[in-house]
Structure 1
């Protein structure tokens, strides 16, 4: 079992969370903004046991006046994260979750911490997911990694240059697409400049 899981698979509550968590007006609002290419209803995604589906639905609620509904969906999705969820679903879920919270980092005091937790959890899956991308014939390449990229940016803004560099090194070692050498070189210059100031 991967170390970041907080819970084992457990039976889901028997209550109707969709009806209990949202008012009829909120149902209508969510359905009104949900417009996937292939059709379908927001309710069908909201009732899913796959956290990635709820994350995908939350992405439709990015406007400031709707974000509280997105937070509710992500809270529900968090309860569905367990060792039985496919690692690729978790990879994409934590990317979406992190991006959603990061968007509101300057509005809600908890948002940046939640974004960082999401990116850290996505990074915790990194080696396994990179292996999947490398070996799966439908992918055949390793894409960019939202968690590594965004957490590097966050740590640079915090002045945690050594940690930002370590994230670049780890992402590069796992094979994630990005210009990691450029980022490492830029960070090294910053660290060298800081040493000369001491």
Structure 2
């Protein structure tokens, strides 16, 4: 398997939305009830501000997108274009952690290094802009990847904006 990472474009949006829907529906089945998975669709998703900012990446195999994710220099921690409470304020790299955002892997490519590839690129890019820490809001299905990548849990919470409480974990990591 040869994986290629590149910056996402607006032309990728239909494929990204389909990949995200599949990942939410499939990869969380061991961690969430069917009701929580349905609620996750209302909470999670693509924030196109990341694409506009050039901080969102896709991983392709033979020209097919198999994963996506990015980082942000903006205050919003998680959620898609449809999510309430988004904040486009720019972060201060000297004070604030950069945000890792919207990490999704095609279920057929899970646990093959796609997520690690994206996380490494996020870390490198955020460090190049002066950030010394990363922060993310992870799902229970993503927590093992983030823990293996050096993130630690700083808060466990539930988001009930989808009508049913969905457990999430806020995690942080220093950039070495």
Higher relative contact order (CA 8 A, sep 6+): 2
TM-score > 0.5, shorter chain as reference: no
In our comparison, the structure showing a higher alpha carbon Rg is 1
Compare the two structures and name the one with the higher helix fraction.
1
TM-score by length of 2: 0.30
TM-score by length of 1: 0.27
